[in-house]
Structure 1
């Protein structure tokens, strides 16, 4: 084990399409996804589309927790509108659960928000899995604003999920969609907004979560952009969706992980994992953020949080 690996704290965000359940009810994709996760060895897993995982006494989430090596699972509520709740799994060898919150106001999918204490750290770390609305740009704005409550001054948080919208920064390696070449009018309505009399790609959630305004610092740092610009890892800007569909334009970086500034400074690397197994398991690849555990513990002090 290298020094970095021994000091690593891994956070994975992954939208596994319909929880890996095929239309015929078979679970081959789920088993493939579990093999991928077992290899990644996340200490924290931020999951989206845990389809019907609340059924049968939560059998699916406990099975996934077992595949991860005995992680503690948290599952947000499904809704009448969607049976695809968000969830979070934490490694109890490093993460001591302290609280659990579910954010429902204005959210298409309630955000799953356990709060843990990293062993050896004096302050708590808030974790959240989210899945922003796929069909309503204005609703995504409200959802992003709701998530900013996890990044208030003095708080420490890592949040991640499927944003169903685009990065707002100019350093991206993939151009935003050319809407003149996309015939899917429904997708156009779901993913564009009006600005200066023109329809453009919706980047507002990212602007809210990680944008600077009038000299004010961002609420969160978006870790792909941070890794690319601060750590020189341009591959951190790799697109994430869709691995399957070819009728909605080029792949885009819609799955993202954010952290409060003092926590982001402990980041070592960010990767988008695309393998044959990932392509078979889901239309989204997992995004993995690796932090220095020692630096993360240092960041989780009251002084670091207030200074960020």
Structure 2
């Protein structure tokens, strides 16, 4: 799949940065093992992974899953390496600045949010936001992640009117709530993904916990799919069979405000290969380096 994306980028005279999630490495020297595995993936796909000689761009997390970055050889890292983990993160975040031919370097990042801990997930969203939007003179940037939660980005829906009625302009959530509806029932695993309350009769009401997404949206990290108002597509729920959460979109690429006017495309790669290879479908965002806002 990555080889195909690299070929497509070359055919379009574009460059490619790949955010890699869940590089599995455990044990006493998991940093060396994770770095070696990212290096093997880079060699297998014809991409680069070392931001300085012999040092792969991998961020080692607290668990056995780590994140990293790959890129084509016609763009160059310009510094800005950051690996965020430890007490900051359940997993980790990797970030690097690139010369992509724009007026300024562009930062690309990979992040993996906690699968458990709704409040920790929201706290980490603040930390991720700070790495991408602070200080004021930081480069524009993109961050791809398994956010382990539903987005809170809004899209505009124009109103209408005729002789029998109408509807006002409104902003609505881009992502539908995957956990509510006629066919949706409460199950214990929803404590990791939903928030709930009880009425006077003891009946439970619940909805998706969007607090981490609210932090990112309000703080200025925009979801590419929502910013482009692209046709909605799920990224998880297809595999393994019997996913208790069902189909939903928890993988997204987010961008700083300067990148929004430069966005040119968004795609979920949903093929027989990608559906059988992973429980998460790959996503792609395209931007025009000449259209990045000052």
TM-score of the pair, normalised by structure 2:
0.76
1:253 to 237, 249, 252: 249
Shift of 1:182: 4.2
Matches within 5 A, 1:207-286: 207-211=214-218, 218-228=219-229, 233=230, 235=231, 237-245=232-240, 246-286=242-282
- Aligned mates of 1:220, 1:274 — CA distance in 2: 25
Which structure would you say has the larger Rg?
A: 2
Shift of 1:139: 0.6
8 Å contact kept, 1:34–1:67? no
Structure 1 unmatched runs, 5+:
1-32, 212-217
Q: Cα RMSD (Å) of the superposition?
A: 2.5
1:145-192 per-position Cα deviation (integer Å, ceiling 9, x unaligned): 00111113343111110011112233436443128834641x211101
SS of the residue corresponding to residue 23 of structure 2 reads: coil
Matches within 5 A, 1:180-195: 181-182=184-185, 184-185=187-188, 187-194=189-196
Matched, 1:69 2:46: yes
8 Å contact kept, 1:78–1:109? yes
- The more displaced of 173-182 and 90-99 is 173-182
Matches within 5 A, 1:37-56: 37-38=5-6, 41=9, 43-52=16-25, 54-56=31-33
User: Is the helix fraction higher in 1 or 2?
Assistant: 1
1:201 to 197, 208, 217: 208
SS of the residue corresponding to residue 228 of structure 2 reads: helix
8 Å contact kept, 2:77–2:98? yes
8 Å contact kept, 1:220–1:260? yes
8 Å contact kept, 2:177–2:208? no
1:85 to 63, 66, 84: 66
1:166 to 130, 135, 150: 150
Aligned residue pairs total 250
- Aligned mates of 1:40, 1:136 — CA distance in 2: 39
- Aligned mates of 1:286, 1:263 — CA distance in 2: 20
Shift of 1:219: 1.5
User: Is the strand fraction higher in 1 or 2?
Assistant: 2
1:107 to 76, 89, 92: 89
8 Å contact kept, 1:98–1:117? no
SS of the residue corresponding to residue 188 of structure 1 reads: helix
TM-score of the pair, normalised by structure 1:
0.73
